[in-house]
Amino acid sequence: MAHILLLELIELAGKNHTTKVLIATEAHRDAQTFCSAYVEEQKMQSLWRKPV
């Protein structure tokens, strides 16, 4: 769903290259943040499950 919204935003930007780059950069940053948070959550869950 998010990638569809991103494509729509880029399409709305039209020929404005700077706007397209800013949109893509922000989307990339958001994806990195999400992935980092997901990895940290998985690490915490694996630590929680380990027998002591």
Half-sphere exposure of 33 toward its Cβ, with a 13 Å CA cutoff?
6
> What local confidence, expressed as pLDDT, does residue 2 receive?
61
> What local confidence, expressed as pLDDT, does residue 7 receive?
76
pLDDT at position 50 over 80: no
> What local confidence, expressed as pLDDT, does residue 22 receive?
82
Give the total number of structural domains in the chain: 1
7-22 average pLDDT score: 79
pLDDT at position 52 over 70: no
For residue 31, give its domain range.
2-49
> What local confidence, expressed as pLDDT, does residue 3 receive?
67
Residue type, 38: Y
Other CB atoms within 10 Å distance of the CB of residue 22 = 12
* 19 contacts: CB under 8 Å, gap ≥ 6: 13
- pTM, two decimals, is 0.51
pLDDT at position 4 over 80: no
d(CA 41, CA 26): 22
